[in-house]
Amino acid sequence: MFGLSWLDIPLLILLIWQLFYGWRVGFLISLCGILGFAAGAVGAFFAVPLVSNWVGDSGWRLAAVVGSALAFIVVGYSIGVGIGSWLSRGVRLKPLKAINRIFGAVASFVIAALLISPVAFSLSNLGVPFVSQVISQSGVIRTIDSFTPTPIKQAIAQWRSAVVSQGIPQLFNQLGPVTQTPPDARTDTPALNNAAQSVLKITGTAFQCGQNQTGSGFVAAPNRVITNAHVVAGVSQPVVETPNGAMPARIVFFDPEQDLAVLAVDGLGVQPLALGAELANGSQTAFQGFPFGGPFQSKPASVQSKGTVLVPNIYGGNNHPEEVYQLAGDVQPGNSGGPLLDMNGKVVGVVFAKADSNQQVGYAFTLKEVSPVVEQAAGLNREVSSGQCTKK
């Protein structure tokens, strides 16, 4: 198991208690109790971001979030146990007592462990630095996460997107219709796997709009991360999730017109990505990030066209010219701010939008737009305002 933190003590107590409780009461009561626990956890999973948005006072926000999550879980569990006790009154399992206890213990332990994951995921994506850091340091949560299949984690992220803002700008097919589907190319090559170490998830809460926000970014200079401005718009304390855990960030560059931002993360210690060269039409690429705020994904794409088009600012007004790539690729909310990479793992653009009428079309700023920001990133130190949030 990974190294333990103070949060692991109550989590381990919970798991051990579930193990012995399942042994004592048997399979039926354990199953009903865990189903009630699950129902409460699902309620907490969706309620946590809403409660965080409703509570405007930062001093009370954490207490309200934790209290509401515990309330949902305790009530659900209590109802489940009550139903299980009622059902078990007419059941006589003495001949199978040992088997009943073993199955009760296993079911109680395993399901409780599995339910920790979505609740922790929901809490970590609130964008509250202290909460994100504590969860990222938990060895129990990381162990459970390592055994949770990726498709399940992706599904959890998509379910949660119903109540969390992960909006991505949508553009009409600015450079003409796409004539190809996304390529079926490998994105697990050594070069792209190496680049993936420098692609990070970004979370935060924009209290002006009452919403949590997630997106992607990449390390462009020592201790500097580039993302889209709309990912951190209205966020006062963004959080960057690194391979070593969650870290607080400062916004040191914010351009709502160009939709680019730079975050300073002291002590980040992640290798910056190198810039590549401009791409020709038909070039095979990959884009990396955290769609729906879920697990990391590296997906293939191809450049369908490149050109200068009128792009609105992050608030939907003031159209201005930007050079962009139109991509055949499955770009989703949460990919915003992630890098577009050539097959050597070098940055050739920044994903910022998808087509409004085609699920398989995305857009990325070219190096013409991105390079000037990358070049000045290392020297940016003064914290700046993140402007107004964009209501999704």
Question: How does pLDDT run across 257-295, given as a tens digit for each residue?
Answer: 999 999 999 999 999 999 999 999 999 999 999 998 888
Task: Please report which confidence band the pLDDT of residue 346 belongs to, taking 50, 70 and 90 as the band edges.
Answer: very high
Say whether pLDDT at 90 is over 70.
Answer: no
Superfamily grouping for domain 170-180+276-369: Trypsin-like serine proteases (2.40.10.10)
pLDDT beyond 70 at 161:
no
Predicted confidence (pLDDT) per residue in 46-88, tens digit: 777 777 667 766 556 667 777 887 888 889 888 988 888 887 7
Distances (CA, A) of 171 to 94, 138, 310: 66, 40, 10
R_g of the chain computed on alpha carbons: 23
pLDDT for residue 1 is more than 50 = no
Tell how strand 361-366 and strand 170-171 pair up: unpaired
Q: What percent of the chain has pLDDT over 90?
A: 41
SS (H, E, C) 20-76: HHHHHHCHHHHHHHHHHHHHHHHHHHHHHHHHHHHCCCHHHHHHHHHHHHHHHHHHH
Residue 209 three-state SS: coil
Q: What is the pLDDT of residues 348-373, one digit of tens each?
A: 999 999 987 667 899 999 999 999 99
Domain ranges, ordered by start, for the chain? 8-148, 170-180+276-369, 193-272
**Per-residue confidence at 204, pLDDT binned at 50, 70, 90?**
confident
Does the fold of domain 193-272 match that of domain 170-180+276-369?
Answer: yes
The mean pLDDT value of the chain amounts to 84
Q: Where residue 175 falls among pLDDT bands split at 50, 70, 90? A: low
Distances (CA, A) of 383 to 21, 251, 337: 51, 6, 19
> Phi then psi for 268, rounded to 5 degrees?
-60, -50
- Are the beta carbons of 199 and 241 closer than 8 angstroms? no
Greatest Cα pair distance in the chain: 78
Domain 193-272, CATH number (from 3.30.70.1350, 1.20.200.10, 2.40.10.10, 1.10.540.10): 2.40.10.10
pLDDT tens per residue across span 180-197: 678 888 899 999 999 999
Residue 203 · residue 178 · CB < 8 Å:
no
Q: Measured between alpha carbons, how far is 368 from 315 in angstroms, rounded to an integer?
A: 22
